Structure 1
Amino acid sequence: MRRSGEALAAFALALAFAVAACAPQADPEADPADTIFFGDHIITMDPEQPAVEAVAVRGDTIVAAGSRDDVMALEGPSTRVVELGEGALLPGFIDAHGHFLGPGRDQTSLLLHPPPVGDVSNIDDIVRKVRAWIDEHDIPPGEPVTGRGYDDSLLEEGRHPTRADLDRASTEHPIVLTHVSGHLTTTNSAALAASGITADTPDPPGGHVRRIEGSMEPNGVLEETASGLLAIQRGGAPSPEEFDDLIRRSIDVYLSHGTTTIQDGGTSAAQAERFQAAADREPFKADVAAFVRRRGAPGEVADVPYVREYRNGFRVAGVKLMLDGSPQGRTAWVTIPYEERPPNTPPDYVAYGVMDPDEYKAQADQLIEAGVPILVHANGDAAMDLMMDGVDEAVADMDPMPDHRSVIIHAQLMRADQLDRAAELSVVPSFFAAHAFFWGDWHRRSFGEERGNNISPVGWALERGVPFTVHNDAPVVPPHIMRLVSITVNRTTRSGHVLGPHQRPTVLQALHAVTLGAAYQYFEEDAKGSITVGKQADLVILGENPLTADPENLEFIPILETFSRGRSVFAR
């Protein structure tokens, strides 16, 4: 049952009085705090001490949390004292899955998003924007033009732009546009020609070249691994200075949304080395956890630079594996056929996997045995069956079962029985909950009302006590955490339909998924995710208490200030 905002507020207030008497006492002999926060809206996310009156920080650590009088004993001449007023103090948000350079790149890229992120409504808008980009940047003939973010599900034409459409923008520049999901691309004739993609080009394993109806001639749209057929250099390699600037721009975007731990969910080992070198040159203002992407047969586990500790704000936190595509791109691998499917596909179309099942199982077995955390991209229920088969086989002979916390990334079409199995196997689903608004109506068309309304089944996970997180998968959706919390709680689609009201959590449960729950996913719950003495001082001040706010207005609560490791790193 969902608690009302008023009930949660009363609950929090009662707990505040209950814990005040037993809160840790500040030591007046200790060094003074660097910062003290006090107010009526401190949401600790700590189940042992859910609400306090004040919090003190020294260096990068929370050193006191309790009554205002006790904590204020740590005030010194140079202590910054923050009176929260109507603002709320929470632990810093934790990005459960995303691609952290994307938001930085988006600041200097050709973007083709529909509202509310952009302004593209139809294919003519795309053609116009590509032409304008070529003119404004004086791109010479022969040089590629790249962009991202178009969404066929929201274009007036209800389809992908094709080579014929993009040829209207230019026949002299190879044009490559990436679908909002990141799982498809569309190209013009020049890009296909430059890449040698013709009617004779076969589909690669785990991908598909879409064809002009009635022929084998490519229509320009490439699904999944078929995008790898493109022989187009999509922008030159940045210099170390440009790369550093991109990293720090991206971090600043996340900090502006209150996020203090950021994920790069699918990088290369070489890129990870560049991240670490950048952090060693100048420590990152937030923690960045990278997951190295592996394909094919397993290599040497020693080649995975997995470490448990951050160095200057960076660490490799595990490995990313891919099993299928995306539901918004209609390439998620499912067990029951799509109700509305891509053109030129058979009635029994269920999409397809993108990794050989035996190779995936070998990877999962090797990595789990070695204690390396894995994130496994699986949107469709067929992909999730395979994901959990791999985990099951890996841990079958282990007694006791290791604390592996293998993560299903996206988990969009997860069935109720799969959540039962996740509970048995200690698998953590990370739901792409932002889909409920952005593509909820599309999923009802793709999968029918029953499956569509149970996308991102947070309610089923709560019923079973399955630990879960939610994410934006930036830059697919901007890294706006309060909008993510709002969508998770409300599950309202673009059309105003409530997508499976039985799957809605409370506000407090949604906040847990982006704080302490996400810290658990990362094996970092002892250091992050709650306002607890001894933990890292990652904090965010919101303009309003989300537990008492109107749930429909959650996404509009502003981020007033973000603190990472005790330092103020963003202020409005």
Structure 2
Amino acid sequence: MRLDTLIYNAEVLTGDRARPRASRIGIWQGLIVGLDEQLDPLLQGPDAASPLQVFDAKGACIVAGFNDVHAHSVWFGQTLLDIDLAEVTTPDDVYAAIALRIADMEADEWVICSNFNPLQLTGSLDRDRLDGVALGRPVLIKHRSGHAYTVNGVALGLAGIDEYPTTQPEGGEIVTDDRGRATGLLDENAMRAVQDLLQPEAFGSVAEALAAASKHYLTEGLTSVTDAGIAGGWIGHTPREFAAYQLAADRGLLKHRAQTMITIDALHDLPGHAHDPAARGLDAGIRSGVGDDRLQIGPVKVFTDGSLLGATAAMTEGYAHCQHHHGYMQGDPETMRTAVIEAAGAGWALALHAIGDAAIDFAIETITEARRIHGPGPMPDRIEHGGVVRDDQIALMAAQKIVLVPQPYFISVFGEGMLHNLGPDRATLSYPARRLLDAGMILPGSSDRPVAHGAPLAVIQAFAQRLTEAGNPYGSNERVTVAQALHAYTVGSARATGWGHNKGTLANGYLADLVVLGAHPLDVPVTEVAHIPIVATMVGGVIVYGQLDAH
């Protein structure tokens, strides 16, 4: 064995409790082969060969590559191309942003906007004003939550939604005003009527959006990302979506390591032998685990309820601002349960979106039942989000080794709205972190990007601070240290995705994915963690962003 890369004069945080720090890293063919004195035999003696690349880190802090276990890369890539409404605060701001873009658009082209947060808007959008400013074009405004659209009258008409709708879709709502007229706001499954007009999206454009996202990830030190729902449902873009990932990888545009969750809508009944269990999957029995360390199929993604922002997450108790309203499940619980168990019967690991505590009850019960019948899956089973999680639920998840995947940055951008919907008492149960660690559970790092900011250092800071956009504490009982949050975004994420023995740690035999930081995250004030520069990002021993001093 020889070294092909040597990094020295570094302050390495390995993530390995047996050897937490180092100053030198040796790499060969994309793998770490030694630290510090372990490298001496490879650098000395008559058979030693000098490394082809030698980098002086000049005392910089190096950590394992960041790993976001719940994001939406194609959607995020599209936000980099759509009309950006992230900073709008009034309806007039929205109308102006649309008017500025349409001058370069075709007469029948859809006007698509992203990153809209209605909670920061003073006033409400008017569907008729949207008709006027778009000059007859259909308008689609994607909410940051991912659980709602706002459209104009032209788009409603194209989608076949009546001016005064008399029926509602299961698990969704066509919002109407006090006269019964559709306002243009479509919640949850009501979004599908518009999606059916735009999907499947062009194969090449999906790959283009994915490439844009991947290029951006490297600037933030992200070397691995799990995309939580592709190829079906209202979160997918085309039934051929995984092939678009393969196309991007073949063309060298997929710079990070990608794991994809196929939505359960994309699975179908699979015939088999009479002794085989009832199974729901993909043709040929393709299931979780297919792929390699560059591109892999992960768990099946299942939506069970809605969102906190839209007060559609399923709660055991009513919302603080509307006690009789408990949110709702996305479909009939028994029908969903059967589908999940049949997916497990086809060998899929499970990832159930569950935000309200009633939905989490359902998720725990369903995963437990699936395991009782079919045994454990090929990688950890997960519950995504956890907007309200009771102590008894954490005890059950810990006992079952179910991974909960919270997004602390939601608090930084949506905290005040979530406080309004939940009340202060339930905020102490919201998006847990400390209680997970205290229970001995895996704590991974994730963002749900582009719903919220996805830069790992910003999310790490949010883990430690738990402050709303107004600077108010939100469930401060769930704060963790920066060191624990850093561990979550590296070691914890690797374990949550089934890669705990291959990445997330800087140790012998692990993938040489690492990030060189412009300051030590454990030495700067917590308020400065998000602002630490990314000096360089390395994937498989190759610098893919930034640079180091080479010799």
> SS of the counterpart of 1:441?
helix
Sequence identity, in percent? 25
**Could you say which residue in structure 2 is the equivalent of 1:520?**
495
1: distance between equivalents of 2:447 and 2:34? Answer: 32
> SS of the counterpart of 1:90?
strand
Query: Measured at CA, do residues 297 and 340 of structure 1 come closer, stay the same or move farther in structure 2, by a change above 3 Å?
Result: farther
**Could you say which residue in structure 1 is the equivalent of 2:236?**
none
Q: Which moved more, 1:100-109 or 1:406-415?
A: 100-109
Query: Measured at CA, do residues 272 and 397 of structure 1 come closer, stay the same or move farther in structure 2, by a change above 3 Å?
Result: closer
**Could you say which residue in structure 2 is the equivalent of 1:178?**
142
> SS of the counterpart of 1:340?
coil
> SS of the counterpart of 2:133?
coil
> SS of the counterpart of 2:269?
coil
Do structure 1's residue 273 and structure 2's residue 243 form an aligned pair? yes
**8 Å Cα contact 1:162-1:186 kept in structure 2:** no
The C-alpha deviation readout for 1:358-402, integer Å capped at 9, x for no partner, is: 122123323334432121111111111111110122223567x66
Do structure 1's residue 161 and structure 2's residue 120 form an aligned pair? no
**8 Å Cα contact 1:296-1:356 kept in structure 2:** no
2: distance between equivalents of 1:442 and 1:559? Answer: 32
Query: Measured at CA, do residues 358 and 45 of structure 1 come closer, stay the same or move farther in structure 2, by a change above 3 Å?
Result: same
**Could you say which residue in structure 2 is the equivalent of 1:412?**
387
2: distance between equivalents of 1:100 and 1:127? Answer: 27
**Could you say which residue in structure 2 is the equivalent of 1:131?**
99
2: distance between equivalents of 1:252 and 1:130? Answer: 27
Query: Measured at CA, do residues 565 and 65 of structure 1 come closer, stay the same or move farther in structure 2, by a change above 3 Å?
Result: same
Amino acid in the other structure paired with 1:390: T
Q: Which moved more, 1:507-516 or 1:70-79?
A: 70-79
Shift of 1:78: 4.8
Shift of 1:440: 1.3
Shift of 1:69: 7.3
2: distance between equivalents of 1:296 and 1:282? Answer: 27
**Could you say which residue in structure 2 is the equivalent of 1:372?**
348
Q: What does residue range 406-485 of structure 1 map to in structure 2 within 5 Å?
A: 406-485=381-460
Do structure 1's residue 147 and structure 2's residue 82 form an aligned pair? no
Amino acid in the other structure paired with 1:207: G
**Could you say which residue in structure 2 is the equivalent of 1:188?**
152
1: distance between equivalents of 2:466 and 2:50? Answer: 48
Pick aligned residue for 2:514 from 497, 516, 539: 539
> SS of the counterpart of 2:24?
strand
Q: What does residue range 482-493 of structure 1 map to in structure 2 within 5 Å?
A: 482-493=457-468
Amino acid in the other structure paired with 1:387: A
TM-score (normalised: structure 1): 0.86
Shift of 1:305: 3.0
> SS of the counterpart of 1:153?
helix
Query: Measured at CA, do residues 49 and 206 of structure 1 come closer, stay the same or move farther in structure 2, by a change above 3 Å?
Result: same
2: distance between equivalents of 1:262 and 1:296? Answer: 21
Amino acid in the other structure paired with 1:526: H
Shift of 1:144: 2.1
Q: What does residue range 53-132 of structure 1 map to in structure 2 within 5 Å?
A: 53-67=23-37, 70=40, 73=43, 76-113=49-86, 119-132=87-100
Q: What does residue range 261-410 of structure 1 map to in structure 2 within 5 Å?
A: 261-268=224-231, 269-282=239-252, 284-295=254-265, 299-300=269-270, 301-303=280-282, 305-306=286-287, 308=289, 310-311=291-292, 313-341=294-322, 347-396=323-372, 405-410=380-385
1: distance between equivalents of 2:98 and 2:166? Answer: 27
Shift of 1:233: 3.9
Which segments of 5 or more consecutive residues in structure 2 lack a partner in the other structure?
232-238, 271-279
1: distance between equivalents of 2:115 and 2:66? Answer: 25
Which segments of 5 or more consecutive residues in structure 1 lack a partner in the other structure?
1-29, 114-118, 342-346
TM-score (normalised: structure 2): 0.89
Q: Which moved more, 1:291-300 or 1:555-564?
A: 291-300
> SS of the counterpart of 1:515?
helix
Q: Which moved more, 1:80-89 or 1:482-491?
A: 80-89
**Could you say which residue in structure 2 is the equivalent of 1:217?**
181
Shift of 1:421: 1.1
Query: Measured at CA, do residues 162 and 349 of structure 1 come closer, stay the same or move farther in structure 2, by a change above 3 Å?
Result: farther
1: distance between equivalents of 2:264 and 2:42? Answer: 50
Amino acid in the other structure paired with 2:174: V
> SS of the counterpart of 1:325?
coil
Query: Measured at CA, do residues 48 and 299 of structure 1 come closer, stay the same or move farther in structure 2, by a change above 3 Å?
Result: farther
**8 Å Cα contact 1:306-1:315 kept in structure 2:** no
**8 Å Cα contact 2:83-2:114 kept in structure 1:** yes
Query: Measured at CA, do residues 70 and 420 of structure 1 come closer, stay the same or move farther in structure 2, by a change above 3 Å?
Result: same
Pick aligned residue for 2:171 from 188, 203, 206: 206
Query: Measured at CA, do residues 234 and 283 of structure 1 come closer, stay the same or move farther in structure 2, by a change above 3 Å?
Result: closer
Query: Measured at CA, do residues 307 and 206 of structure 1 come closer, stay the same or move farther in structure 2, by a change above 3 Å?
Result: closer
> SS of the counterpart of 1:149?
strand
Shift of 1:120: 0.8
The C-alpha deviation readout for 1:3-61, integer Å capped at 9, x for no partner, is: xxxxxxxxxxxxxxxxxxxxxxxxxxx42x22222235210011222112211111111
Shift of 1:321: 0.6
1: distance between equivalents of 2:225 and 2:419? Answer: 31
